[in-house]
Structure 1
Amino acid sequence: MDNSQIDMNLLRLFEAVYRLGSVSRAAEALGLSQPAASQGLARLRHAVGDALFVRSGTGMRPTLRAEQLAGAIQPALSAIQSALAVKDEFDPLQSRITVRLHLSDIGEARLLPDLVATLHREAPGMRLHTEPLPHEEIADALATGKIHFALGFLPSVTETERVELLRDRYAVVVRAGHPLLAQGTRIAAIQDLKRLEYVAVRSHSETLRILGQLGLDSRLALTSAHFLALPAIIVKTDFAVVMPHAIAQRFMDARRYALLSTSLPNSRFTVSMHWNRRFDNDPAHRWMRQLFVSLFRNGARPGRAAQGRRAK
């Protein structure tokens, strides 16, 4: 058999003749002319090296070779047609997929609570897996499907699709009883900042950049591997930490911590959602993109987010 001569149209023609027992009826079912159907059948006979069908008093009867082919071709065509007929829909209530995300520890603290709560209501069978990756590996991980989304301030990540979700700025946080606050003000000048000692997380390069631009590298008393240890350290010392303003407001008790009003260099940043364009038309992927946007863009409220998605 010369497989290069056989295409999907010839297989569909074979299946129709086999099923209907007539070349003319097969041609009508497929929207072909009688000559075109006959020519197609001739091409298929030549490629297979068998007559495939012979005339009889009741129509076209299949040969033994045709019977063998039909046993493979009919279920294959049926499977293809079923796959093509699947509607471009996604039912989150029935989904059991695992969504893999790049998130830093600060990103987890900021985004996961609302995300997990919403998925618990709208897609209870879905699972999340977060994995912080080196920034230079994120684009390839998105392209290969190792992760589905990367969320964060990722200016070095290029060649991806991207949507801005929210904006924030870095702030300086100290304990509520810090000596700097003894005069009853939370306004800190650059000279005040230069008298402080700092803790930082080495994976958050923007914090280190800001300290470097202020000339405070020598004031860095502790560099930690994880963000979660810093609040407990600050509350027991006179150290300060540079961290996202929204995180400080949301997770730090105002009775124990104080946000200093100060001007930091290039302290504003954006948190974006990154993905690879080859997943643009995947229904589950599209649903998740809409979910992220509705939850987090411009401080959207989860209740309105759910309503907006259902309306689409």
Structure 2
Amino acid sequence: MNLLRLFEAVYRLGSVSRAADALGLSQPAASQGLTRLRLALGDALFVRANGRMRPTLRAERLASVVQPAVAAIEDVLRDEDAFDPSRSQMTVRLHLNDIGEARLLPELMEALHRQAPGIRVHTTPLPHGEITDALETGAIHFALGFLPSVSGTERVELLRDRYAVVVRAGHPMAKASKASNVRMTIQDLRRLEYVAVRSHSETFRILQQLGLDGRLVLNSAHFLALPAIIARTDFAVVMPQAIARRFIEPKRYVVLPAELPRSAFTVSLHWSRRFESDPAHHWMRNLFIGLFKD
């Protein structure tokens, strides 16, 4: 590559000394490089005429290929440190589950709308065992969530949350806990019936650990219907507290004062080291961190 860049500079400038200056080489180093290229190609490449280095026919043919190739490579190298989000048309592919979408996408899309209106976002929930390979191959750019089984990635912790028990505002147990101003016991929780989303294994782990899995009346594929269901029944749902406080109307729902076992969890941003130096990837990482890091 260095010899071809030297060839291109001599062809363009008509001088070995000027080519050496342009490339930051000494004149002897440039002369030695040109000699190596002549020997490798079996052609003089340049002959001196009227004070300039004139290309041979072989050099003319070579230059027609080398010049655009060198220009394209140098453009890529110059662009390596430059990324203009306001002009980007890239599609960012994310692993996010439904609750992650509810928690993170509103702020993310608002920020992209302001700073990078041409960027598109595509989300897909992957099985946790496939996330590392998907990041490595570029099938997704980032994975966000509580992903303790995902290994072999770069990651940064964004925020912490905990699971909570949510019921409708008029629920008899909500009224009783408010009147007594005491925390609920396991016995209290065992009097409730529950709805849950099977894609969120931690909620099932909590219910099982408390011996409440026998009280599960709805095992749903998606989270979206659960708030409407608990608003019309005395069922309870175990869900992240931040989602409950931010996205469920406080006049219609109550977070019960109950301490759940091992309920705290961390939402992290995962990516592959392969793409760490990419300017667009770097910009997106900083955007996530700036928006969501506690």
Give the aligned residue type for 2:238.
Answer: V
Alignment of 1:93-112 (within 5 A): 93-112=86-105
Q: In the alignment, is residue 138 of structure 1 matched against residue 99 of structure 2?
A: no
Distance 1:242 1:270 in 2: 16
Structure 1 residues 79 and 244: alpha-carbon distance in aligned structure 2, compared to 1, 3 A threshold: same
TM-score (norm 2): 0.91
Measure how far apart 1:158 and its partner are.
1.0
Residue 281 of structure 1 corresponds to which residue in structure 2?
A: 277
Measure how far apart 1:251 and its partner are.
1.8
Residue 301 of structure 1 corresponds to which residue in structure 2?
A: none
Distance 2:284 2:184 in 1: 41
Distance 1:245 1:32 in 2: 63
Which of 58, 64, 68 in structure 2 is aligned with 1:65? 58
Structure 1 residues 185 and 106: alpha-carbon distance in aligned structure 2, compared to 1, 3 A threshold: farther
Distance 1:294 1:29 in 2: 41
Structure 1 residues 178 and 276: alpha-carbon distance in aligned structure 2, compared to 1, 3 A threshold: same
Distance 1:58 1:115 in 2: 61
Measure how far apart 1:289 and its partner are.
1.5
Structure 1 residues 16 and 98: alpha-carbon distance in aligned structure 2, compared to 1, 3 A threshold: closer
Residue 245 of structure 1 corresponds to which residue in structure 2?
A: 241
Structure 1 residues 64 and 120: alpha-carbon distance in aligned structure 2, compared to 1, 3 A threshold: same
Structure 1 residues 101 and 31: alpha-carbon distance in aligned structure 2, compared to 1, 3 A threshold: closer
Structure 1 residues 64 and 140: alpha-carbon distance in aligned structure 2, compared to 1, 3 A threshold: same
Residue 252 of structure 2 corresponds to which residue in structure 1?
A: 256
Q: In the alignment, is residue 157 of structure 1 matched against residue 150 of structure 2?
A: yes
Alignment of 1:1-312 (within 5 A): 8-27=1-20, 29-86=22-79, 88-183=81-176, 184-185=179-180, 187-298=183-294
Structure 1 residues without counterparts, runs of 5 or longer: 1-7, 299-312
Distance 1:277 1:119 in 2: 24
Distance 2:18 2:123 in 1: 57
Give the aligned residue type for 2:4.
Answer: L
Percent identity between the two aligned chains: 72
Task: Work out whether residues 167 and 174 of structure 2, in 8 Å CA contact, stay in contact via their aligned partners in 1.
Answer: no
Q: Mean Cα displacement is larger for which, 116-125 or 101-110? A: 116-125
Q: Give 3-state SS (helix, strand or coil) of 1:227's partner.
A: coil
TM-score (norm 1): 0.86
User: Alpha carbon RMSD of aligned pairs, Å?
Assistant: 2.0
Structure 1 residues 136 and 67: alpha-carbon distance in aligned structure 2, compared to 1, 3 A threshold: same
Distance 1:211 1:92 in 2: 44
Structure 1 residues 87 and 281: alpha-carbon distance in aligned structure 2, compared to 1, 3 A threshold: closer
Structure 1 residues 51 and 248: alpha-carbon distance in aligned structure 2, compared to 1, 3 A threshold: same
Task: Work out whether residues 167 and 253 of structure 2, in 8 Å CA contact, stay in contact via their aligned partners in 1.
Answer: yes
Measure how far apart 1:231 and its partner are.
1.0
Measure how far apart 1:105 and its partner are.
0.5
Q: Give 3-state SS (helix, strand or coil) of 1:191's partner.
A: helix
Task: Work out whether residues 8 and 67 of structure 2, in 8 Å CA contact, stay in contact via their aligned partners in 1.
Answer: yes
Distance 2:98 2:263 in 1: 19
Residue 308 of structure 1 corresponds to which residue in structure 2?
A: none
Measure how far apart 1:26 and its partner are.
4.0
Distance 1:201 1:29 in 2: 64
Q: Mean Cα displacement is larger for which, 141-150 or 275-284? A: 275-284
Distance 1:17 1:94 in 2: 36
Q: Mean Cα displacement is larger for which, 55-64 or 140-149? A: 55-64
Q: Give 3-state SS (helix, strand or coil) of 2:255's partner.
A: strand
Give the aligned residue type for 1:246.
Answer: A
Task: Work out whether residues 174 and 256 of structure 2, in 8 Å CA contact, stay in contact via their aligned partners in 1.
Answer: no
Q: Mean Cα displacement is larger for which, 174-183 or 20-29? A: 20-29
Measure how far apart 1:38 and its partner are.
3.9
Measure how far apart 1:19 and its partner are.
3.0
Measure how far apart 1:245 and its partner are.
0.9
Distance 2:173 2:7 in 1: 86
